Amino acid sequence: MKIRAVISGKSVHDEGYRVFLLNKAISEGIEGFSATNGVGPGNYGQVIVLAERDEEAITGLSRFLKESFPPHAHIESVVIEPYDRRVVSIIDFMHLLQVELLDKGIPAILSIKKTQEEMLEKQEQTIGEIRGMRTDLKTQMDDRFNKIEHELQMVKDALHRSGILA
């Protein structure tokens, strides 16, 4: 038995929906399966599911499609209809999905790496500025301390000369 399900809603993409569905399809023993994001005019906001297996497994999957959703998905409708064309094997779909997710993930990882390198560069600049400030502050404090010592010595000398201090 084969079905085509169209899941529509304002938040069905980038919610982990296809992996969510794949997990259920695997647990139901579905042999033919794919879940694609609808693209193009009139299809955005859709996940299109194709599935093939015996009637019992497809009935269980159909019930799941209508009743279960990823936590952040917002579903408006689930339409399930018979399907008579080819459905890829679930193994092939897993490979295709894995490649697609890697294709999305690698640029994200590279962007994170670039941002991290920029942040480390700024961190090194900040550390350099702090070290410079410490050096400036130490020099200024040493100068002030030396001046205070010198003035204190002058006060002591004046007190000695006036006989107030022995």
pLDDT on residue 163: 87
* Strands (DSSP E) found in 38-148: 46-52, 77-82
Q: Does 45 reside within a domain?
A: yes
Q: Does 32 reside within a domain?
A: yes
Q: Does 11 reside within a domain?
A: yes
37 residue type, one letter = N
Domain region containing 8 = 2-88
Q: Does 78 reside within a domain?
A: yes
Q: Does 8 reside within a domain?
A: yes
Mean pLDDT, residues 47-68: 95
Q: What count of other Cβ atoms lies within 10 Å of the Cβ of residue 133?
A: 10
Tell whether pTM > 0.85. Answer: no
pLDDT on residue 42: 64
DSSP 92-123: HHHHHHHHHHHHHHHHHHHHHHHHHHHHHHHH
pLDDT on residue 5: 96
Q: What is the CATH number of the domain that holds 69?
A: 3.30.70.100
pLDDT on residue 43: 63
Mean pLDDT, residues 86-105: 92
pLDDT band of residue 6 (cuts 50, 70, 90) is: very high
| Gap between the Cα atoms of 80 and 160, Å rounded | 105
What tens digit of pLDDT does each residue of 107-163 get? 889 999 999 999 999 999 999 889 888 888 888 999 999 999 999 999 999 999 988
Mean pLDDT, residues 89-95: 95
Q: How many domains does the chain divide into?
A: 1
Q: Does 71 reside within a domain?
A: yes
Q: Does 59 reside within a domain?
A: yes
Q: Give the residue from 9, 6, 89, 92 showing the smallest Cα distance to 48.
A: 6
Q: Does 34 reside within a domain?
A: yes
What tens digit of pLDDT does each residue of 17-50 get? 999 999 999 998 999 999 999 876 666 689 999 9
Mean pLDDT, residues 55-59: 94
Read off φ and ψ for residue 151, nearest 5 degrees.
Answer: -65, -40
pLDDT band of residue 56 (cuts 50, 70, 90) is: very high
64 residue type, one letter = F
